[in-house]
Amino acid sequence: MDAWALRQNADAIVAIMLLAGVAALCASVTLLWPIDPLRGTLTATFKPPLTVVGGQLHPLGTDQLGRDLLSRLARGTAISLGIVVVAAAISVVLGTALGMVAGYFGGWVDIVVMRAVDIQLAIPFILLILLIVAVIGPGLSNMIIVLGVTGWAVFARVARAKTLEIRELEYIEASRAIGMSRGAIIRRHVLPNIVGPQTVLLTLDLPRLIILEASIGFLGLGVQPPTPTLGNLIGEGRSFMLLADWLVLYPGIAIGALVIGCNLLGDWLVRRADGRTA
């Protein structure tokens, strides 16, 4: 790769390095690190990074209950990423399906779907999510459902706009002329043309989901302790910031790496889609 291509793809390289680093940390620590993230030792509370207690090294220190922060960070990052990825998949599938149906069929179907999109986008996401979580209760499955069903609107808009463009093309008219059903046309001709734009949009939407999941966990309305997530790790550590700043620092770095990595990857995909890079 020449210097120009390297500069043009620098965002992708940095993004892959950040995301791969976080993924490697989660996988390696979860599989190989011997310390249980849920068990603590009261004699090992608030130990700073690189402290050895009872012959066991704690690279990132321990928390207020003597639990190893490295194992908790890896477990919490994996859980948070799992929530975000599944919720994003729900949003993409739901939004794309509704957007294609609205764009292709038009009429009252289009009106109903797009008014639902307008209502969804008119309500601040964080307030809506907090309201729903407060009503149905916190928990892993509830968090996934709430993030998934409140994030579909932007995908529906993009899918509808692309479908309106595609349905007027000549090969779609030819498909209708030979008697192909509407469902078959949407599945075989419309959907493949929407996958690319929706993938780009997904990478740009993931940082929002990461921040939302962490915010809800920080407020105590997400996955409940002692199960760690990035948000509740920061929420638990905020009371001890002056005594043990590493409890907030390292989860914050993990969130920052994920958000920056997804943003850089999304920016690179946008430029690739616009044809501005090699």
How many percent of the chain have pLDDT more than 70? 95
Residues 6+ apart with CB under 8 A from 152: 90, 91, 94, 95, 98, 120
pLDDT at 1: 45
- 43 in any annotated domain: no
Mean pLDDT, the chain, rounded, equals 88
Residues 6+ apart with CB under 8 A from 168: none
Most confident of 25-34, 72-81, 176-185, 192-201: 72-81
pLDDT at 278: 39
pLDDT at 237: 92
- 171 in any annotated domain: yes
pLDDT at 211: 93
User: What does the block give as tokens for 55?
Assistant: 């012959």
206 lies in which domain range? 3-37+49-274
pLDDT at 214: 93
- Tally the domains of the chain: 1
pLDDT higher than threshold 70 for residue 276 = no
Task: Choose the weakest-confidence range: 4-18, 58-72, 220-234.
Answer: 4-18
Residues 6+ apart with CB under 8 A from 50: 57, 58, 59, 61
Q: What is the pLDDT of residues 235-264, one digit of tens each?
A: 999 989 999 999 999 999 999 999 999 999
Q: What is the pLDDT of residues 41-57, one digit of tens each?
A: 888 899 999 999 888 89
pLDDT at 17: 92
Question: How far does CA 214 lie from the centroid of its chain?
Answer: 10
Torsion sign over Cα 64, 37, 207, 18:
positive
More confident of the two residues 222 and 86: 86
Residues 6+ apart with CB under 8 A from 169: none
- 42 in any annotated domain: no
- 44 in any annotated domain: no
φ/ψ of residue 260, rounded to 5? -65, -45
**Pick from 89, 102, 67, 116: nearest CA to 202:** 89
CATH number at residue 235: 1.10.3720.10
Question: How far does CA 63 lie from the centroid of its chain?
Answer: 26
> Please, which pLDDT band fits residue 62 given cuts at 50, 70 and 90?
very high
pLDDT higher than threshold 80 for residue 204 = yes
- 92 in any annotated domain: yes
pLDDT higher than threshold 70 for residue 137 = yes
